Structure 1
Amino acid sequence: MNRTLLTTLYPKAPSSHIDAIAANGDAVFSSFAITYGTNRLSYFLAQIGHESGGLTIFTENLNYSAQGLAATWPSRYAVKEGSGYKKDANGKYVPNDVANTLNRKPEAIANNCYADRMGNGNEASGDGWRFRGRGYIQITGRDAYRTLGGYCGLDLENNPDMASDPQHALTVACAFWKWKTINPSCDAGDFTKVTKLINGGTNGLADREAWLAKVEDALKSYPPAG
C-alpha cells in the first residue's frame, strides 16, 4: 500500500498504524476483494476516515455528560413527556435520573447503554464496556467481536483490544466489510447504502462524502500499490 497515499489521507495517524497498513494493506485488501471492483477501495478508505477521525480514534469515547446522554439517546436518557421527551428553554433534552447518575462515567455508561443487546450480557456483566466500539469501523457488541473473529482468524471475543491493535485493525475492518456484504453496494456506486450498512443510518453522511472526495483526489496522485 502506498505510504504517501496513507499519510496524505491520514496525516495525524500514529506511525504504527500507517506502517502496518503500508506493509500489509495490499495483501489484506486483496484477501477481502476490496481492491477489486468499482469504488471498493475509495469507499473503504473514506468510511474508515470518518469512523476513526482520520485514523486517530481507535476506541469509542463514552465520556458523556448527562446532557450529552440525553441528546444522543433521548429514548433512554431524556425525561419522558407525553408522547415525546422534555426539552428545556434552550430546546435541549432534559436528562432523566439515569443520565444524571451516569454523568461522566464512561464504563458505567457503556455497561448501561449496551446491556442485553448485540450479544452482551446484562449491565452487571461488564460486556458493554468490554465490547465497546473499537477499531477503524468501531465494531461494537459481543456478537460482532465473535463473528468478526471468525472471519479473520482472531480470538476477538477473548481479546477485544486486538480490534484496535495496529497489526490487526485493518483485517478486522475488512472482515466487517465482508460480514455486512458491502462490496456489491460499492460496485453499484451507492455510497449512501454503504453508510447505512456501516452505521445503521446516515449519520455523518456529509462528512463521509467529504472524505470520499478527499480519497478520490488522493488516489489520482498516489496509486494504492507501490
Structure 2
Amino acid sequence: MISYGMIRDCFPRLAPARLQIFTEAFNLHFPAYSLITPIRVAAFMAQIGHESGDLRHTVEIWGPTPQQRRYEPPSELANRLGNTQPGDGERFKGRGLIQVTGRFNYAQLSQALGEDFIGKPELLESPNMAVKSACWWWSSRNLNELADANDEHNFRKITRIINGGLNGWDDRLARWQRYKNIFVIGGNNASTVA
C-alpha cells in the first residue's frame, strides 16, 4: 500500500486534499498494472512527477505554441496523431500524468479502458483517470520490466520511451534516486507496496 506520507514526501508542495485524492487513485490502480514493487513505483513516480509538474498538471498548457499548431491537420504530426478534423489538435491535446496526445491515442485508450475519451477528452484531467491512463500507458509499453533492472541505463530507456528524448533528464534522475529512498527504505524494503 502506498501511504499518504510517501506521496507527501514525493510531492511536498501539493495541497493535502490533492495528495489524498492521488494517494487513493494510486492504491486503486497500481495493483491492476503490476506497479507493486518499490523499484517499479519509484521509477513510475519519478517519471510522472516530472511529466506532471509534481502532479499539478493533468492537461497540456495550450498556447497554442508553434509545436501545438502542428497538431492540427493537415500537418505530418497531425497525421501521425490521427488528428483529422479542424480543432482536433486542441481537443486531443496532452492529458493525463503521462500525456496521451492525439485522436488515435485517445481512441486506443478509450478501447483499453472502456471509456469514451473521444467524446469526453476532459475525463483524462481528473486525478483518477490521469493515474489510470498513466498506469495503462506504462504497462502497455512494458516499462515495469525496464524498471525492474533498477539501473540508470534502463531508467534512461524509460525516459526516452515516455519523452521521446531526454528532456528533463537531471530532474527525472534526481527524483528516481530520491523516490527509491522513500519507497524502498521508507517502505522497509518491502517486496510489494500495493
Structure 2: gaps of 5 or more residues: none
Relative to the length of structure 1, the TM-score reads 0.72
1:140 alignment counterpart: 101
What amino acid is the match of 2:3?
A: N
- Whether contact under 8 Å (2:71, 2:81) holds in the other structure is no
Instruction: Compute the displacement of 1:151 (Å).
Output: 2.1
Cα distance in structure 2, aligned partners of 1:115 and 1:9: 35
Residue pairs, 1:27-176, within 5 angstroms: 27-36=28-37, 39-63=39-63, 69=66, 110-111=71-72, 115-122=78-85, 125-176=86-137
Q: Secondary structure at the match of 2:80?
A: coil
Residue pairs, 1:198-213, within 5 angstroms: 198-213=162-177
Instruction: Compute the displacement of 1:109 (Å).
Output: 6.7
- Whether contact under 8 Å (1:131, 1:160) holds in the other structure is yes
Kindly tell me: are residues 222 and 133 of structure 1, through their superposed partners in 2, closer, same or farther at Cα, counting changes over 3 Å? same
Residue pairs, 1:168-187, within 5 angstroms: 168-187=129-148
Q: Which has the larger radius of gyration?
A: 1
What amino acid is the match of 1:58?
A: T
Cα distance in structure 2, aligned partners of 1:170 and 1:16: 16
- Whether contact under 8 Å (2:39, 2:147) holds in the other structure is yes
Kindly tell me: are residues 139 and 14 of structure 1, through their superposed partners in 2, closer, same or farther at Cα, counting changes over 3 Å? farther
Instruction: Compute the displacement of 1:194 (Å).
Output: 0.5
Relative to the length of structure 2, the TM-score reads 0.82
Instruction: Give the number of aligned pairs.
Output: 184
- Whether contact under 8 Å (2:72, 2:88) holds in the other structure is yes
Structure 1: gaps of 5 or more residues: 74-105
2:186 alignment counterpart: 221
Cα distance in structure 2, aligned partners of 1:186 and 1:33: 12
Kindly tell me: are residues 119 and 64 of structure 1, through their superposed partners in 2, closer, same or farther at Cα, counting changes over 3 Å? closer
Kindly tell me: are residues 207 and 64 of structure 1, through their superposed partners in 2, closer, same or farther at Cα, counting changes over 3 Å? farther
Kindly tell me: are residues 145 and 12 of structure 1, through their superposed partners in 2, closer, same or farther at Cα, counting changes over 3 Å? farther
Aligned Cα root-mean-square deviation (Å)? 2.5
What amino acid is the match of 2:140?
A: W
Residues 187-216 of structure 1 deviation map (CA, whole Å, 9 limit, x = unaligned)? 233101111111112221111101112211
2:6 alignment counterpart: 5
The answer to which structure, 1 or 2, has the higher relative contact order (CA under 8 A, 6+ apart) is 2
- Whether contact under 8 Å (1:59, 1:138) holds in the other structure is yes
Q: In proportion to residue count, which structure has more helix?
A: 2
Residues 35-90 of structure 1 deviation map (CA, whole Å, 9 limit, x = unaligned)? 14x7211110000000001111221123367xxx4xxx6xxxxxxxxxxxxxxxxx
